[in-house]
Amino acid sequence: MLIAAVGELAGTGMTVWRACALTGVTRSTYYRISRGYQHYRPVAHPITQADRVQPGALSAAERDQVIAVLEDPDYEEHSVCQAYWRAFDQGLVACSMRTFYRIAARQGLVADRRRGRHSGDRPRSTPRVGATAAGQLWSWDITDLKGPARQVYKLYLVIDVFSRYPVAWRVEPAEDHQPAIDMFTTAFTRHGAPKVLHADNGAVMRCGDLLDALQAQKVTASYSRPRVSDDNPFSESLFKTIKYAPDCPDQFDSLDAARAWTAAYLAGYATQHRHPGIGWGTPASVFDGSCYQKQAWRQARLDAYHRQHPERFRRPPRAPQIPTHVGINQKKNTNTDLSQTG
């Protein structure tokens, strides 16, 4: 009956897709029955492809041999493809490269398999940490600023993730843990300590003296995974914004010049830069909470404009919303415990 109904609706000029949607019949079912494919008989208890017996599958011994090759110290320095062809040329494996790679993926051996290069046998877990208000989560990193000749200055920068506000910074001639400790000591005194401080895996970020200073303030340290730049996106994004600023010099004439320019830029960024990630508000307004008053003012102005010219809108306009949740490796607007750090 439903198949006939779909055919009648399609005969009136309605598309098959629309007719199927109205009757609740899938298009594949309609085409299968209407075109006479009566040989199809659904089974009562279908078996998934993964659970079916594959006559061409490798035996358990062959799979063990592939795993042994992948874990062999002679091959662990090479990529999976390199390991496959080297082992194939030596007669150690006879499967396809795709099968070889599939086994490696299931065993978790497609990444760096070298021994003694990691902080444990298991890969480091993905850092997941979020904030629902300013002052809960800070992120920091160090980047290079070109100086005269081949000299390179180091920009230490700490931002509040929820508001993108630069809570602390300094420019130094080199990376060292003591300037970092002094920077955080001043920031904690001025703004209070956050619940979580996120950073990458630099030596300064993991030095014992800095960890002791964080522990004294009851700050949880969170770290990115090795060689995963996306685990510290907020600091990396601000570094790019700074270096791509139209007035950012290609190189600074002196350390004092680098400090003066950075101070002026970050002051303007905090109070004037409209950030899309925080409802086009300024970092300073979100950090101190005045953004909600500005949002209400924007909405009132949009409402007045809508009343004056309703013909210019398909729906009432809304002022950009301030996010309720911001996090690292988390979806937007989700509630997450700040203690979940990797």
The answer to whether residues 98 and 222 belong to one domain is no
Cα dihedral sign for 120, 126, 132, 133? Answer: positive
What local confidence, expressed as pLDDT, does residue 1 receive?
Answer: 67
Q: Give the contacts of 292 (CB within 8 A, at least 6 positions apart).
A: 322
288, amino acid identity: D
The answer to whether residues 235 and 167 belong to one domain is yes
Distance, CA of 249 to CA of 245 (rounded, Å): 9
The answer to whether residues 101 and 141 belong to one domain is no
What local confidence, expressed as pLDDT, does residue 50 receive?
Answer: 73
The CATH number of residue 187's host domain is: 3.30.420.10
* Within-domain flag for 338: no
Six-digit token pair at 34?
A: 């209407």
Distance, CA of 10 to CA of 29 (rounded, Å): 15
* Within-domain flag for 51: no
Distance, CA of 260 to CA of 310 (rounded, Å): 49
What local confidence, expressed as pLDDT, does residue 19 receive?
Answer: 86
Q: Give the contacts of 220 (CB within 8 A, at least 6 positions apart).
A: 195, 196, 197, 214, 338, 339, 341
Last residue of a domain, one of 242, 273, 304: 273
pTM of the model: 0.63
104 contacts 69 by C-beta, under 8 angstroms: no
* Within-domain flag for 262: yes
Each residue's pLDDT, cut to its tens digit, for the chain (342 residues) gives 677 787 777 778 888 888 888 888 888 887 877 766 556 666 778 888 777 877 778 888 888 999 898 888 888 778 888 888 888 888 888 888 899 999 988 888 886 655 554 444 456 788 899 999 999 999 999 999 999 989 999 999 999 999 999 999 999 999 999 999 999 999 999 999 999 999 998 889 999 999 999 999 999 999 998 877 788 999 999 999 999 999 999 999 999 999 999 999 999 999 999 999 999 999 999 999 999 999 999 999 999 999 999 998 889 999 999 999 999 988 654 333 343 333
Number of domains in the chain: 4
Domain that holds residue 304: 284-325
The answer to whether residues 93 and 210 belong to one domain is no
* Within-domain flag for 153: yes
The answer to whether residues 62 and 33 belong to one domain is no
What local confidence, expressed as pLDDT, does residue 274 receive?
Answer: 93
The answer to whether residues 28 and 69 belong to one domain is no
* Within-domain flag for 317: yes
